[in-house]
Amino acid sequence: MYFSFRTLSRAFSVDARSRAPIAPLCALLLALSTASTGVTAQAPAVTTLRQAFEAAWLRQPEAASADLHRQAAQGRKAAAQSWTVEPPSLEVSAKTDRLNRNEGSRELEFGVAVPLWLPGERSRSLALAEAEAGAIDSRTAAAQWRLAGTLRDAWWGLHRARVEVGMARARQDSAAQLARDVARRVAAGELAKADQHQADGALAAAQAELAASQASQTLAEQALRALTAEALAPALLDAPEAAPAMPTDETEPVSTHPALRELSDRALMAERARDLAGVQQRANPELTLATTRDRGAFGDRYGQTVTLGLRFPLGSSGANQAKRATAGAELIEAQAQLTLERQRLSGELAGARARLLASQAAAEAATRRSVLARDTRGFVEKSFRAGETDLPSRLRVELEAFEAERQATLARLNVNQAISAFNQALGLLPQ
């Protein structure tokens, strides 16, 4: 949309005697210019782990196909609840001798063929359909749980990268300030030229560390954005997740864990499929009801008969035998996977709990070390300005203080990450 502001100015020219208000005209011009540039409001950036998870889940194939899978399960359940295996079929046939003898022989037959359930097949088909419907929800929950694990790693990886950048920038600023102080004292003749080289070397090392940390931050941002496809806020919330209280000696995963539910439902499906294959030892019988209207020759009266038939296949086919063997193999595999997964989750839960306790203890120790190193740096800085401490000692204490502050910050971040790992081991989604 294009507007000529010269035309608008002529159209809305204000005579000095009319005393028309200027503010409404300015507001109108501003609205028109905004509409012409096509300014649209952008979606809010991701700031919390829960928002990142919701954005990432919407992009997953399981989320897009879940509704259709549920519709398919409902269709299989409805088919299992019907009175026949398949819908009845209509049979129509006609027989005549018009093409050869043409003596008036005519026969017309109408019939309905109804496939019948085998004994026990209908109830077992319904049980299998219900198991498949339940497995859809557990499969979706397991996919969400696996996505949560990947997202948690990327989330806290980005936090760690941003902390590294902040600490590297702070170290660079401190090294630059120290280099300026040393340059001033060298110019005044208080320090030697070698001290200036040491200070400049420390500044160069800080600049190199900042560049490396910025590259790591870019990689971490791209890893998280690949999952969410959303813009990331400049300041992500680093608040820890809420960890539920559990007994310290509890190491067995709960039965409602998404991974265990998925494998349990898979084993149930295999068991129901095996039971169904056990009764499907032959093809389904078929009930036929037909009526025939015929005559033998011209002049004969039409007669009508009714036929009631039952087609019952004999023997078992190789396809049914293969179906039973396949269902049995899937049941064995699902049960074995369930046992292995339960053992793996038990070890993962114990490891996550130990990691959380260790990270909490490490954070307390790192905080005490950071406070002591900060106080020591203050003492040495004063003595260096007074000329009582040499530059190598000042650089060493400065580096120790920076490393202590870095370790304390990362230790607090490790506690938050350990809480997320503990929730992941428990099978909980980001909240």
DSSP character for 110?
Answer: E
Both tokens assigned to 198: 């040491």
Q: Are 77 and 213 contained in the same domain?
A: yes
For 312-367, what is each residue's pLDDT tens digit?
887 666 777 888 888 889 999 999 999 999 999 999 999 999 999 999 999 999 99
Position 17 in a domain:
no
Is 87 found in the same domain as 228? no
Same domain? For 202 and 307 the reply is no
Q: Residue 386 is part of a domain; what is its CATH number? A: 1.20.1600.10
Q: Is residue 45 part of a domain?
A: no
Do 180 and 270 fall within a single domain? yes
- Kindly state whether residues 265 and 249 are assigned to the same domain: yes
Tell me, yes or no, whether 72 and 104 share the same domain: no
Residue 169's Cβ-count burial label (10 Å; 0-12, 13-18, 19+) is middle
Q: In this structure, which amino acid lies at residue 114?
A: V
Q: What is the pLDDT of residue 245?
A: 66
More confident residue, 32 or 393: 393
Rounded-to-integer distance, Cα 32 and Cα 12, Å: 14
Which tens digit of pLDDT belongs to each residue from 260-281? 999 999 999 999 998 888 888 8
Domain that holds residue 147: 50-81+117-281+316-426
The total number of residues shown for the chain amounts to 431
User: Residue 163 domain-assigned?
Assistant: yes
- Short-list 203, 208, 201, 216, CA closest to 164: 216
Residue 121 pLDDT class (50, 70, 90 cuts):
confident
Q: Determine the angle formed by the axes of helices 193-228 and 391-426, rounding to 10 degrees.
A: 10
* Together in a domain, 210 and 347: yes
User: Is 41 a member of any domain?
Assistant: no
Are 193 and 329 members of one domain? yes
- Is the pLDDT reported for residue 41 higher than 70? no
- Distances in Å between the Cα of 2 and the Cα atoms of 10, 12, 24, 35, 37 are 16, 17, 21, 9, 9
pLDDT at 255: 80
What distance in Å separates the CA atoms of residue 122 and residue 360, rounded to the nearest whole number?
58
In this structure, are strands 286-295 and 303-311 parallel, antiparallel, or unpaired? antiparallel
Q: Tell me the pLDDT tens digit for each residue of 79-111.
A: 888 888 888 999 899 888 888 888 878 889 999
Q: Are residues 248 and 386 in the same domain?
A: yes
The answer to whether residue 406 sits within a structural domain is yes
Q: How does DSSP classify residue 386?
A: T
Write down the pLDDT at residue 247. 52
Rounded CA separation 158/233 (Å): 12
**Is 31 a member of any domain?**
no
| Domain co-membership, 160 together with 292 | no
Sheet holding 286-295, edge to edge: 89-96, 106-115, 286-295, 303-311
- The reply to whether 245 and 103 lie within a common domain is no
pLDDT top residue among 348 and 12: 348
Handedness of CA 12, 16, 19, 23 (dihedral sign): positive
Q: Which whole number is the average pLDDT over 59-70?
A: 90
Q: What is the pLDDT of residue 198?
A: 86
Q: Give the chain's domain count.
A: 2
